[in-house]
Amino acid sequence: MDTTTLASVASVIDGKTPTSGTEYLSRNPADLADVVAAVRLGPAEDLVEAARVARVAQAEWAQVPAPVRGRVIANLGRLVEANQETLARLVTREIGKPYAEALGEVQEIVDTCDFFLGEGRRLYGQTVPSEMPDKQLFTFRVPVGVAAIITAGNFPVAVPSWYLVPALLCGNAVVWKPAEYAAASAAAFAELAWRAGVPAGVLGLVITDGPSTFDGLKLALEQRLVDKVGFTGSSAVGEQIGELCGRHLQSPCLELGGKNPMVITEDADLDLAVEGALFSGFGSAGQRCTSLGTVIVHEDVRAEFTRRFDAAVRAATVGEPHGPILYGPLLDQKFADSYESTLDWIQPHHTVLGSTATGRITAENPRAGFHGEAGTGLYYHPVIVDGVRPDDRIFLEETFGPIVGIIGYRDFEQAVELANKPGYGLSSAIYTTDPTKAFRFRQLIGAGMVSVNNSTSGAEAHLPFGGNGSSGNGSRQSGIWVLDQFTRWQSMNWDFSGKLQKAQMDVATV
């Protein structure tokens, strides 16, 4: 895979590139002068056309035996593995993800392919007993049809693979709309999928901006060209997508934001908790949906935890993504702009304990540009906000940046109540040496994912991934559970008695 020549990126529909559109420059956030790709943003019609093509191609793809589709997924896994470093380098260059994390991200695709390649030989249905003699009941998984997958750019290839791989394996066609600021990474991944044997019509790549995506999706749904929508992104946009799908009686797969809490009990191993808070609060510059939002720490250990956490943050390096860093720049200018407004909320009434690589307390300036020349990259200091209050925006809203709040608690039930308060329900963590508290936390927390003595981020690719409340509609990705998103159950009953046996009426009484 040669990504150095990937200078222009556009929609690819049925193997062809439409020509209309406006130009957007995908820039390296570590060095804004470095243009990664000229991205052509197509009109809403691109999405409709891709869905039209997909509708036709899907009928044929569904006839390909599932084990053969599994072979295609196996090919994809092998190709991604063979191109792991090239793809990771492109991801790092395009969104500033630390190279070590980018390698891990690409590995997540390989893991997903590993998991699903064998599923082609299973996709089990069931045989079910009937209430009547000489009659047999069955269930089958059937593909949903055409899936429109709209993904974010913070995980520009791994999270899309969570949708694409199972959707294709199950016999669906996919129209994929990646984030425009990560379009080059997406195009490189799609290229590998086509090379692996996914037919051109079965996977369409659509590069449009937000409003055109929404318009295109609306039209495609109205024309009954899309049967399932998968969306990873903000809760606000997720609500709009949910509303649109609901009008067509569809239930989308929504993977939205998070304000993920970490409870630290009085008996916790504080060094372990500091490590977990550092990784999940500041890894990927806090731009994971699973990033840590607020530490909820017992008052007996709060001062000590805060001291150690602050020291760890001060010791960490922020900077060039290929260096030995904790995190690099923010993803893109629009994320930097929105993070700037978060910094505006916290300024007036908080003690800001964050620090820079050089150890300067950031209270005076938790703003950009401390690595390299000012203005060259979208770099931000890490910020710890001690003493957040339960009705503060910083406690309630996702920030998607390198900022972590701290709040104290006295009573365990109160800690769980605080953990649930923001109304998101994606990931959560508890650091404790008391198994009773760990289980109690698991029972009471509203999150889809719970870590015990581990960070809120870093989910493995074969457990159900997803959230509740503002984090999603309860749909789950990853592992076998995602099959329920991309197949529908069909039941069959077969009466071989040679007479009409009426269910509920002709049943033998005992």
Q: How far is the CB of 279 from ligand UN1 (least distance, A)?
A: 10
Q: Which of the 8 DSSP states describes residue 182?
A: G
d(CA 251, CA 306): 43
Among 116, 155, 163, 486, interactor with ligand UN1 by CB under 6 A? 155
Q: Which is nearer to ligand UN1, 105 or 310 (CB)?
A: 105
Interacting residue with ligand UN1 among 172, 294, 457, 471 (CB under 6 A): 457
| Contacts with ligand UN1, 127-146, as mask; x by CB under 6 A | --------------------
Catalytic residue chosen out of the listed positions 49, 94, 108, 255? 255
Residues 120/66, Cβ–Cβ less than 8 Å: yes
What are 250's two structure tokens?
């569809």
Q: Give, in order, the Cα–Cα distances in Å from 372 to each of 148, 311, 317, 450.
A: 40, 23, 13, 38
CB of 81 vs ligand UN1, minimal distance in Å: 18
Q: How far is the CB of 472 from ligand UN1 (least distance, A)?
A: 11
What SS3 class is residue 406? strand
154 binds ligand UN1 (CB under 6 A): yes
- Specify the amino acid at residue 433: T
**Terminal-residue alpha carbon distance, the chain:** 68
Residue 23 bears catalytic tag: no
Query: Which residue has tokens 């090919």?
Result: 75
Pick the binder of ligand UN1 from 237, 264, 268, 289 (CB under 6 A). 289
Q: Is 288 in the site for ligand UN1 (CB under 6 A)?
A: yes
Between CA 386 and CA 308 the distance in angstroms is 13
Site string for ligand UN1, 223-252 (x = CB under 6 A): ---------x--------------------
- Residue 13 or 254: the one with the smaller Cβ distance to ligand UN1 is 254
Instruction: Tell me which DSSP letter residue 318 carries.
Output: B
CA dist 493 → 127, 139, 200, 507 (Å): 10, 9, 37, 15
Q: Can you spell out the DSSP letters for 44-58?
A: HHHHHHHHHHHHHHH
Question: In this chain, which of 159, 174, 407, 415 binds ligand UN1, going by CB under 6 A?
Answer: 159
Residue ranges with strand state E in 187-307: 203-205, 228-232, 253-255, 260-264, 292-298
Query: Which range touches ligand UN1 (CB under 6 A), out of 139-147, 341-349, 457-465, 485-493?
Result: 457-465
**In the complex, minimum distance from the CB of residue 466 to ligand UN1, in angstroms, rounded to a whole number:** 10
Instruction: State in angstroms the smallest separation of the CB of 452 from ligand UN1.
Output: 15
Nearer to ligand UN1, 171 or 321 (CB): 321
Residues 61 and 202: beta-carbon distance below 8 Å: yes
Active site residues: 255
Tell me which residues touch ligand UN1 (CB under 6 A).
Answer: 154-155, 159, 232, 288-290, 457-459
